[in-house]
Amino acid sequence: MDRLIYTALNALAVNRDSQVTQAQNLANQMVPGFRRDLPNEGETFYLNMPGSMVPKAFNLEKGQAGFSNQLGLLNRTDEELDVAIADQGYFYVQPEQGDPALSRRGDLRRDVDGTLRNGAGEAMLGPDLAPIQLPEYRNVRITDIGEIFIEPLDAVGGEAVLAGVLATVLPAEDLKLTKGLDGQIRPVDGPLPPPDQRAEVLQGTLEGSNVNPVEELLSSMEMQRQFELGMRMVMTARDIDEGGARVLQAPEG
């Protein structure tokens, strides 16, 4: 009987982890460039108990959790510091804490100290993986390979100068990426790939999240049914166990 209870409780634990992932997705559905988290794959683990002929089976997570590479909706904003990657690829960012990472977020702004940052406060990095510094300017133009041309305040006759380059990379197909505990995208093993500037950058465009709220809500309803089924299995196992204990009781009187 305990095997039935352990099986049901393990299923409830897996369901709980899936609900946490789903809540994370729904909470970030309006974040530019957010990549939808995917449930971690699992495998069966058998626990052999001493003195028992039948092992207990558990479903355990296997490897690193992944995320969806499906493209988000590209929205035309005409804001000069809004950028997006047209297809596959990533920008390089430096979070406030931790190592450099990859990102699809492109809602940029110039900080008071001249550092170019995205909406999460992460510094945008150049090909040398150093934060990009922009002097004050009249206007800015960003090319499809990430070059940032500005017209300085003291420029004469519309002169444009190269102020920096947005580092981008198109990772190899066999490079496995994952999100760390800080939510940043990095390779599963090893350092970040070097910038190659092969991603196409679009100025005046912002990529939205690739989370589908309708799909997530339908999945939430299905997981709620699974949770109720697991609870019903636990209650059934309890009733069977109590019924068996009553049968084995000695008659009174």
HEC per residue, 137-198:
EEEEEECCCCEEEEEECCCCCCCCEEEEECCEECCCCCCCEEECCCCCEEECCCCCCCCCCC
Q: How do residues 221-232 score in pLDDT, each as one tens digit?
A: 887 787 777 778
b/e per residue 126-137 (b: at least 16 CB within 10 A): bbeeebbebeeb
Q: How do residues 36-91 score in pLDDT, each as one tens digit?
A: 998 776 555 556 656 665 566 655 655 667 899 999 999 999 999 999 999 999 99
Rounded to 10 deg, the angle between the 2-27 and 213-248 helix axes is 160
Q: Are 92 and 197 in contact (CB under 8 A)?
A: no
Q: Does residue 12 have a pLDDT over 90?
A: no
Residue with tokens 């052999």: 48
Tell me the residue type at 208: G
pLDDT value of position 204? 95
Q: How do residues 178-234 score in pLDDT, each as one tens digit?
A: 998 888 999 998 999 999 999 999 999 999 999 998 888 888 788 778 777 777 877
pLDDT value of position 46? 58
| 97 three-class SS | coil
Q: Does residue 239 have a pLDDT over 60?
A: yes
Extract the tokens encoding 125: 């990095």
CB-facing half-sphere around the CA of 105: CA atoms within 13 A = 29
Q: Does residue 19 have a pLDDT over 70?
A: yes
pLDDT value of position 42? 58
Residue with tokens 């909470």: 27
Extract the tokens encoding 156: 């004469």
pLDDT value of position 59? 59
| 94 three-class SS | strand
pLDDT, the chain, mean = 85
Backbone angles phi, psi at 101, to 5 degrees: -145, 180
Q: Are 19 and 223 in contact (CB under 8 A)?
A: yes
Sign of CA dihedral 156, 161, 163, 168: positive
Place 116 in a pLDDT band, splitting at 50, 70 and 90.
Answer: very high
Nearest to 59 by CA among 20, 11, 3: 11
Place 24 in a pLDDT band, splitting at 50, 70 and 90.
Answer: confident
Q: Does residue 98 have a pLDDT over 70?
A: yes
Residue with tokens 């940029």: 108
Cα separation, 89 vs 102, whole angstroms = 9
Q: Does residue 132 have a pLDDT over 70?
A: yes
pLDDT value of position 55? 61
Bigger pLDDT: 122 vs 214: 122
Q: What is the mean pLDDT of residues 155-182?
A: 90
| 209 three-class SS | coil
Cα separation, 125 vs 132, whole angstroms = 6
pLDDT value of position 131? 96
pLDDT value of position 145? 95
pLDDT value of position 47? 61
Cα separation, 19 vs 116, whole angstroms = 35
